[in-house]
Structure formats: C-alpha cells, structure tokens
C-alpha cells in the first residue's frame, strides 16, 4: 500500500486520508520503516473504506453544470434544469434553473446564490442562538473554508462561518454556530467547553460525524 511518509517529533504513528484520497502517514523519527509498513497494513481495511468514501465525495464535486446534476442546499439534493429561457440569474424553487447561455458563468452564479442564502440564514440564527446562550458577538464574516467551518475572533468579536455550510442540514449549521458562540464563553476545546456545547446541542456529535463524512461534498 503506497503512502506518503512524514517523519516528526512524536510518540505515535497516524494515518490520514487526504482530499485526493492519497494516504499520508506521520511517524516518529526513529521508527523503523518495517514497523511503519506493518502498522499501515494492519489498518488496511479502515484505509480502503475511508479512501472509497473520499473517492465517492470527489465524484460528487466534479461539476459540469449539466441538466440533471444535483446540488446540495440545506442537506437536500436539488436537480439543475438547463433551459432555453434567457434569465439574468440562477433561479431556485423545487429545483435550480439556469439558462443555457449562462452555463459558462454557472459556478459564479451558484456561489453568489449560496452566499446570499448563507448570509441571511446565518445572521438570523446567530442572533437567535446568541440570545439563547446569552453571549454577544460583533459581526458575521463569510469565509470559503472547507476544513475550517467556523471560527471566533475574541479581538474583534467576529464569528466567521463558511458559506459552504448552507449546503448542510440545518441542524449541522446550528451546531457550527453554537460551537463558535460557545468559544465566547470558553476559548479552548477543554471538557468545560464541550459541557457548554452539549447544554445547547445535545446531538452535536452527530453533526460532527456528518461534517467528517460529507464535508468534501459541500462544494461547487
């Protein structure tokens, strides 16, 4: 099994499946290559399963903006209809609708539409949930992160959220918002922090799992 090996000052060996489904192994400087190979082979079934999951997600994000393609919005897939109507923008009802003439600009139009929906929903939920948790933030910033879904800046009081989250289910969006608002109370990820999170989101672990399994698919 081929993998990229990174030697580091560490006590344990770890395996990571990258966004392109390749394997990266991080191991201690002095650990013999033979032992590393044995460790990787012992995890072969897990590695193959994770690679298949990543490859499936990769296939979902290879966009051609063709008639019948599916696009996520709030956790649901909606088909794209390419029409002969000349429209100035991307339309959405029970499906996405785009004029054939606008296909070259499809990626730009989708991103603009998603950002508009994200800004509206995130701002509203931030206001509602901050009132429940009884904390204050100064403003919302939309980022384009894939691995980092949100962050909180104590200096500016800014909550940053990836606009790509608008593709996720509402409960997952709420979890990320709650997570960042709870950092106003507790800046680190200590046990106390998670005790605060679970107080406002009893099912937060399922949202973490969802993002771990589906995060790569939140892309256009």
Q: 113-127: per-residue pLDDT in tens?
A: 999 999 999 999 999
pLDDT value at 39 more than 80: yes
Q: What percent of the chain has pLDDT over 70?
A: 96
Give the pLDDT score at 25. Answer: 94
Residues in the chain: 220
Give the pLDDT score at 139. Answer: 95
Q: Do residues 165 and 72 touch, judged by C-beta distance below 8 A?
A: no
Structure confidence by residue, pLDDT tens digits, 156-172 = 999 999 999 999 999 99
**Structural domain boundaries in the chain:** 4-60, 70-105, 112-217
| Tokens standing for residue 187 | 């800046």
pLDDT value at 146 more than 80: no
Confidence band, pLDDT 50/70/90 cuts, at residue 51: confident
Q: Decide: helix, strand or coil at residue 58.
A: helix
Tell me what the mean pLDDT of segment 162-185 comes to.
97
Give the pLDDT score at 5. Answer: 93
pLDDT value at 14 more than 80: yes
Give the pLDDT score at 64. Answer: 84
| Tokens standing for residue 205 | 């672990």
Check: pTM over 0.85? Answer yes or no. Answer: no
Alpha-carbon span 51 to 19, nearest angstrom: 9
CATH architecture of 112-217: 2-Layer Sandwich (3.30)
Q: Do residues 164 and 154 touch, judged by C-beta distance below 8 A?
A: no
Confidence band, pLDDT 50/70/90 cuts, at residue 211: very high
Residues with Cβ within 8 Å of residue 4, at least 6 apart in sequence:
22, 23, 24, 25
Give the pLDDT score at 60. Answer: 62
pLDDT value at 29 more than 80: yes
């Amino acid at each position: 099994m081929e993998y990229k090996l990174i030697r580091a000052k560490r006590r344990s060996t770890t395996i990571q499946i990258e966004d392109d489904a390749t394997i990266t192994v991080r191991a201690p400087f002095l650990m013999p290559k033979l032992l590393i190979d044995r460790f990787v082979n012992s995890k072969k079934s897990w590695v193959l399963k994770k690679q298949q999951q990543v490859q499936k997600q990769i296939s979902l994000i290879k966009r051609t903006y063709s008639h019948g393609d599916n696009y996520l919005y709030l956790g649901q897939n909606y088909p794209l209809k390419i029409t002969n109507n000349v429209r100035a923008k991307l339309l959405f009802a029970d499906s996405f609708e785009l004029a054939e003439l606008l296909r070259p600009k499809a990626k730009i139009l989708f991103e603009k539409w998603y950002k508009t929906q994200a800004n509206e929903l995130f701002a509203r939920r931030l206001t509602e949930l901050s009132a429940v948790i009884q904390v204050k933030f100064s403003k919302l910033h939309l980022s384009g992160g894939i691995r980092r879904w949100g962050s909180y800046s104590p200096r500016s009081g800014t909550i940053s959220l990836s606009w790509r989250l608008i593709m996720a289910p509402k409960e997952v969006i709420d979890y990320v918002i709650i997570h960042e608002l709870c950092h106003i109370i507790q800046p680190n990820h200590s046990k106390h922090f998670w005790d605060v999170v679970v107080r406002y989101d009893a099912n937060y672990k399922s949202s973490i799992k969802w993002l771990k399994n589906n995060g790569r698919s939140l892309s256009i």
